[in-house]
Amino acid sequence: MLKHIAGVLSPIARGRGGVKVPHNKNTEDCRIIRMPAPDKVVLPMQQHIGAPCSPTVKVGDTVKVGQVIGDSDKFISAPIHASISGKVTAIADTVLANGRMAPAVTIESDGEMALFEGIEPPKVTDADSFRKAVRDSGLVGLGGAGFPSHVKFALSPDKPIDTIVVNAAECEPHITVDYRECLDNTLYIIRSLMIIKEYLKIPHAVIAVEDNKPKAIEKLQKVADEVGDGSIKVMALKSRYPQGAEKMIVYSATGRKIPLGKLPADVGVIVMNVTSTAFIGRYLETGKPLVSRSMTVDGSAIIKPQNVRVPIGTSLHDVIDFCGGFTTNLDKVIAGGPMMGTALVTTDVPIIKSYNAILAFQKGTIIDKPDNDCIRCGRCSQVCPMGLMPTNVMRSVKARDIDGLKDSNVIACMQCGTCAYACPAGRPLVQYLVLAKDMIREDGAKSGS
Amino acid sequence: MRDVIIALVPALIASVAIFGPRSLLINAVSIISCMVFEYVTRKILKRKNTLSDLSAVVTGLLLAFNLPSTLPIWMVPIGAFVAIVVVKQFFGGIGQNFVNPALMGRIVLMVSFPGQMSTWVAPYNWNETVDAVTTATPLFELQNGATPTADLLDMLLGTRGGCLGETCTIALILGGAYLLARKVISPSIPLSFIGTVAVFMLIAGGFDLNYLAYNLMGGGLLIGAIFMATDYATCPLTSKGKIIYGIGCGLVACVIRQFGSYNEGVSFGIILMNLLVPHIDNLTKLKPFGFIKEKKQKEAKAE
């Protein structure tokens, strides 16, 4: 009863915003299955946030699994490795899932999957060699953002870090790969954390999991108690989308608010995705760089929904074929989760490091809201976790009111899609917000020149 | 909008029971003329037909609820015209109106035809063959220092003189509870509105609970606070804004009731606050997550 009253009164206490989304974790009991190597992979040179790589191989070269095929001398970038062994047959532009073009190296398989000879466990003795090892591994944030991990570890002396937050919230519906990682690779997660803490001299660590995954919490806690030194805390967070967003999870796990336009490091925190964390432990043991990644393939239009480990660069089409292909009546294919993912126009795109899911839905199983006029109900403002007012932004975009846009702090929007989810009129609010950010950037470029 | 219609059904039933078939007639004329005006204007302006969003039906219902049962039928479409064409469609249709359409319709009728708009018929009088017995509203009697003919039970059941939909307290509260449970409206506006009136009237009535009860259940306070002031298009976006707006509505309504020549001020209170909504919205903009107050920012810089 009390809970119900609190529910009715909740709009008054706006709190943190967010929405309750159905979890639909259909694949949570599917262990990650390794997909057989495809005949061909296409490895785009831009799989991360930051500077694109340039190819270090030529057409006709023979490459082996784990060999570097693309690198950059810029700091914010991560090398790219061959994910199958074979011959480089082309270096040409390819279309990525987000519609952008990027140069890519095409490798045709020789069927051997031979490991590159130079692969050996890296020698890590101090913070610098640790960072170098992480860079060499090609690791980027595997949760979806694709931010090069070694850049996060480059701590600046005037911003001391005291906590590392491991993000295992997985608040997007359908996706279960991080959950599987927590259950199947628990030991690696805890060991990695110990190593990171040791080399970077970070005293505290928090593993943050949404409370809809009690098994994962239990297992993490158990292993942390056995292996850890008591400095690793496992925390159950309320299941409320977007709990796993960087600023939200830092606030939930540490109580610190990251100021507008700042990074977690500004409040003394590093955030790592749980799968990325486990990868570091594995890499330090084997030296095998990031050449494959786990992803959830799910949705009503997939015949055999499951979690698969896919060589990077595999065509999305091959992955879907491996999962039984599409059912009839296919409506929408999404790279990423249903809230933040990108709807695809073609399945002929390569899997890159930052994709954690492919979802496909039948007609009638997704809610296609009609695009009606805004009725000013204010729900978008109520649920926005960043405290923005999407309906005002939309109005400013329509009026091309740049000053209004700048005033609206829209640049803080992380496109979590909560507003569009809550909108009863079915307005495409996220699209307007993205447009708003583009307009501000365009204006900045104009006045800058 | 369907939820709002469902929430208004108890009040509709009550009004038919209390004021008879004529209530049904006024309601029907009001709804149909609102829908026709909406359809025709959209057609002439070459815009998408929006009848299916049911907002015209809601406006029609609310307008009828704000009219007395004795009103000549030909006046109803005038109110509907003002509501739908002038207030709503001239400003761009749903979500763009700057004041509540139904209330504006009522106010135009009230100013144009003050006599007909304040002829109240006594409840259950509709089956009399002779001319209907007229009565005064409880608020009118209160303002003139008389003891209201309706007792508190009548106020609760709605068997008193008044506009069609405003009298039955129980039906209105039922509708409001439904809207709250369906999360169509937030409690901020009704609570702050009614709360303000309660506090004001408690003090103005010298802590006379009887006086307070008549003021809360009398007039159009409940229908206004639950159904009219909460109209999305004309209330502030944020919770803080909604509370300020609700308090404002309550204050204006009370001041008019207490000191004005009209004995009812809820409509004017809501309309006046409707006009202030853009400013309230401006003043109560949300602070983004991680926003640091300017003062703090300066302090941080000084360090």
Q: Which residues of B touch A377 (CB under 8 A)?
A: 232
User: To which residue do tokens 């049962």 refer?
Assistant: B69
Rounded to an integer, the average pLDDT of B240-253 is 94
Q: Which residues of A touch B181 (CB under 8 A)?
A: 8
A266 shares its domain with A146: yes
Q: Is the pLDDT of residue A11 over 60?
A: no
**DSSP states of A185-242 as a string?**
SHHHHHHHHHHHHHHHT--EEEEEEETT-HHHHHHHHHHHHHHS-S-EEEEEEP--BT
> Which residue of chain B is at minimal alpha-carbon distance from A267?
B290
Residue A180 included in any domain = yes
Q: What is the ipTM of this complex?
A: 0.81
d(Cα A3, Cα B1) in Å, to the nearest integer?
Answer: 27
Q: What residues does B134 pair with on adjacent strands?
A: B121
- Cis, bond preceding A242 (omega within 30 deg of 0): yes
Q: Which residues of A touch B188 (CB under 8 A)?
A: 11-12
What is the value of pTM for the model shown?
0.85
In the 8-state DSSP scheme, what is residue B173? Answer: H
Let me know the angle formed at the C-alpha of A330 by A327 and A336, rounded to the nearest 5 degrees: 100
A40 shares its domain with A109: yes
Residue A367 included in any domain = no
pLDDT in tens, A34-84: 999 899 999 999 888 888 899 999 999 999 999 999 999 888 899 999 999
Q: pLDDT band at residue B127, thresholds of 50, 70 and 90?
A: low
Structural domain count of chain A: 3
Contact B291 A409 (CB under 8 A): yes
d(Cα B217, Cα B193) in Å, to the nearest integer?
Answer: 13
Specify the CATH number for the domain of residue A173.
3.40.50.11540
Contact B290 A385 (CB under 8 A): no
Q: pLDDT averaged over chain B?
A: 88
3-state SS record for B41-73:
HHHHCCCCCCHHHCHHHHHHHHHHHCCCCCCCC
Residue range(s) defining the domain that contains residue A411:
373-448
Least confident range of A11-25, A71-85, A311-325, B191-205: A11-25
d(Cα B61, Cα B6) in Å, to the nearest integer?
Answer: 11
Residue A325 included in any domain = yes
pLDDT at B299: 61
Residue A104 included in any domain = yes
pLDDT at B81: 96
Chosen domain end from A308, A337, A362: A362
Chain A closest CA to B246's CA: distance in Å? 13
A158 shares its domain with A277: yes
Residue A21 included in any domain = no
Contact A260 B186 (CB under 8 A): no
Domains in chain B (CATH in brackets) are 2-283 (1.10.3430)
Q: pLDDT band at residue A13, thresholds of 50, 70 and 90?
A: very low
A358 shares its domain with A379: no
Nearest to A14 among B232, B239, B292 (CB): B239
As given in the structure block, the two tokens for residue B244 are 């300020």
A188 shares its domain with A261: yes
A275 shares its domain with A163: yes
Rounded to an integer, the average pLDDT of A226-249 is 87
d(Cα A405, Cα A399) in Å, to the nearest integer?
Answer: 10
Residue A18 included in any domain = no
A385 shares its domain with A358: no
Least confident range of A142-146, A215-219, A324-328: A142-146
Q: Is the pLDDT of residue A232 over 80?
A: yes
Chosen domain end from A260, A286, A312: A286
A378 touching chain B per CB within 8 A: yes
Chosen domain end from A286, A306, A333: A286
- Side-chain-side CA neighbours of B211 within 13 Å: the count stands at 18
A224 shares its domain with A240: yes
d(Cα A257, Cα A262) in Å, to the nearest integer?
Answer: 10
pLDDT in tens, B52-64: 889 999 999 999 9
Amino acid identity of residue A53, one-letter, is: C
A114 shares its domain with A136: no
A345 shares its domain with A241: no
Percentage of residues of chain B with pLDDT beyond 70: 93
Q: Is the pLDDT of residue A4 over 80?
A: no
A210 shares its domain with A269: yes
**DSSP states of B118-163 as a string?**
T-EEPTT-TT-SSPPPEE--HHHHHHTTPPPSS-HHHHHHT-SSS-
pLDDT in tens, A279-330: 999 999 888 999 999 999 999 999 999 999 999 999 999 999 999 989 888 8
Backbone CA torsion sign across B271, B275, B278, B281? negative
